[in-house]
Amino acid sequence: MYEVLFTFLDAILSPQDYPELVSQEGSWNWNSDTKTKAQGLKNSLSSFQTIATFIITKNVLDEVKSIASKLQKCEQDVYEAYTMVKLLLRTLIPLERISIWFSVLGMKKY
3-state secondary structure 69-110: HHHCCCCCCHHHHHHHHHHHHHHHHHHHHHHHHHHHCCCCCC
**Max CA-CA distance within the chain?**
62
What's the confidence (pLDDT) of residue 30? Answer: 84
What's the confidence (pLDDT) of residue 41? Answer: 93
Determine the Cα–Cα distance for residues 17 and 11; give it in Å rounded to an integer. 7
What's the confidence (pLDDT) of residue 71? Answer: 75
3-state secondary structure 7-26: HHHHHHHCHHHCCCCCCCCC
The model's confidence at residue 98, banded by pLDDT at 50, 70 and 90, is low
What are the pLDDT digits (tens) for 18-68? 877 776 666 667 889 999 999 999 998 888 888 888 888 888 888 788 778
Determine the Cα–Cα distance for residues 110 and 57; give it in Å rounded to an integer. 10
Instruction: Please check the confidence at residue 102 and state whether its pLDDT lies above 70.
Output: no
Determine the Cα–Cα distance for residues 60 and 63; give it in Å rounded to an integer. 5
What are the pLDDT digits (tens) for 72-82? 777 767 777 77
Determine the Cα–Cα distance for residues 67 and 83; give it in Å rounded to an integer. 11
What's the confidence (pLDDT) of residue 110? Answer: 44
